[in-house]
């Protein structure tokens, strides 16, 4: 079989998520959830080939050896699957109600966002004890892991434990493009991007909760170098805005539009 045929065959294999510490030498152990999916849903059997993605850019071709309480397999090969977008987007998302955060995390993972920083803002409705926030962040991280597996992305974005918005504004780190989205701002995202002279390789974006950001929060963002921008004449729902912005940036600067790197 030539290289192209081998690549086609491997890419058609079922993908499963593993943690890097689940690999020891040429052996891999899958967790209970993935084992249950293999055995009860897909009816896989010892001898079947699968892809194990470690969430850090590596795809392992694995031959299953057993499917007991925890499936085990032998690694036959490894490939580098770090096909990440050329622009690294960090989303500071004010926490939304219900399961909307899960929808946001799932969508932006599929759209190639590198990191999600859940923020507690002035108008965040949900208020929990610190331990409960850690539980939520672990659940959102599992959502990101599943979304990465399903869309064929080998790198799982980090979903951090929620912190107050003002802390994330100070601690999120540097970025070529820093945008705070606010419906009170007349300058549109298109106009903001048109004013850029170079293509960013990193972007930091802030999106508010259902009630939006307060003027004080917007002022705090602009004080540390964020530009304000709007998404046009319509006000998007909190769970729509983040994915929409990510899609626009990925089309303009990332890998959704197929543009040559460096073009605006």
- Predicted pLDDT of residue 51: 87
- Predicted pLDDT of residue 243: 96
The Cα 149–Cα 18 span in angstroms is 10
Q: Which residues of the chain have pLDDT under 50?
A: 1-11, 260-264
The Cα 93–Cα 167 span in angstroms is 13
Distance of CA 40 to the CA centre of its chain: 28
- Predicted pLDDT of residue 250: 94
Instruction: Identify the bridge partners of residue 39 per DSSP, sorted by sequence position.
Output: none
- Predicted pLDDT of residue 54: 82
Beta strands 58-66 and 49-53: pairing type?
Answer: antiparallel
pLDDT tens digit sequence for 48-107: 999 888 877 788 899 999 998 899 999 998 887 667 888 999 999 999 998 999 999 999
- Predicted pLDDT of residue 82: 65
CB atoms within 10 A of CB 44: 19
Beta carbons of 48 and 64 less than 8 angstroms apart? yes
- Predicted pLDDT of residue 11: 45
Domains and CATH numbers, the chain: 3-80 (2.40.240.20), 88-253 (3.40.1280.10)
The Cα 234–Cα 29 span in angstroms is 49
User: Quick one: tokens of 179?
Assistant: 């945008």
Any idea which residue has 């998520």 for tokens?
17
| Residue in 216, 234, 103, 227 with CA at minimum distance from that of residue 164 | 216
What is the DSSP annotation of 159-188?
A: EPPPEEHHHHHHHS---SEEEEE-TT--SB
């Amino acid at each position: 079989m030539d290289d192209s045929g081998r690549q086609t065959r491997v890419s058609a294999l079922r993908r499963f998520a593993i943690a890097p510490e689940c690999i020891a030498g040429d052996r891999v152990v899958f967790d209970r959830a993935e084992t249950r999916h293999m055995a009860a849903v897909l009816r896989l059997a010892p001898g079947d080939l699968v892809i194990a993605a470690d969430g850090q850019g590596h795809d392992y071709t694995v031959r299953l050896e057993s499917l007991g309480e925890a499936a085990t397999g032998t690694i036959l090969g490894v490939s580098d699957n770090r096909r990440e977008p050329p622009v690294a987007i960090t989303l500071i998302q004010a926490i939304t109600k219900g399961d909307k955060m899960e929808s946001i995390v799932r969508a932006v993972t599929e759209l190639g966002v590198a990191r999600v920083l859940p923020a507690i803002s002035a108008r965040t409705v949900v208020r929990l004890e610190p331990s409960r926030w850690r539980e939520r962040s672990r659940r959102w991280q599992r959502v990101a892991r599943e979304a990465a597996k399903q869309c064929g992305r080998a790198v799982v974005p980090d979903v951090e434990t929620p912190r107050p918005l003002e802390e994330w504004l100070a601690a999120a780190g540097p970025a070529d493009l820093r945008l705070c989205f606010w419906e009170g701002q007349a300058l549109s995202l298109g106009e903001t991007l048109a004013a850029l002279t170079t293509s960013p390789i990193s972007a930091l974006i802030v999106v508010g909760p259902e009630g939006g950001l307060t003027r004080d929060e917007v002022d705090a963002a602009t004080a540390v170098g964020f530009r304000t921008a709007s998404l046009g004449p319509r006000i998007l729902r909190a769970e729509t805005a983040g994915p929409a912005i990510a899609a626009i940036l990925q089309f303009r600067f990332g890998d959704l539009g197929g543009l040559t790197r460096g073009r605006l």
